[in-house]
Amino acid sequence: MFTMPTVQVQVRLPEELAKQIDRWIEEGKFVSRSEAVKAIVSFYNEREKTRKFYELLEKRSKEAKEEPESLVPLEKIR
């Protein structure tokens, strides 16, 4: 399995967020605070990619409504 290089960072969290992470660890959702923080950052990163993709789709949809003649049928792409 490929493992990406890592760097150590120090993070300060409000006490309640740290307690929530600890509860997740107790519930077995994560094995450590480090794993929880990595997962949360990863989820946020994916959400941002999805948001940007959605914005692109909205832009293209608007362009297609304004200039429908510029659309290319899927049959021509395949």
Q: What's the average pLDDT block by block, 10 residues per block, for the chain (78 residues)?
A: 84 96 98 96 96 92 82 71
In a domain, 51, yes or no: yes
Token digits of residue 76: 């021509």
Residue span of the structural domain in which 54 resides: 20-64
In a domain, 49, yes or no: yes
In a domain, 8, yes or no: no
Give me the number of domains the chain comprises: 1
Look at the pTM and tell me if it is higher than 0.85. Answer: no
CA separation, residue 32 to residues 5, 24, 39, 56, 60 (Å): 18, 9, 11, 36, 42
One-letter identity of residue 58 = E
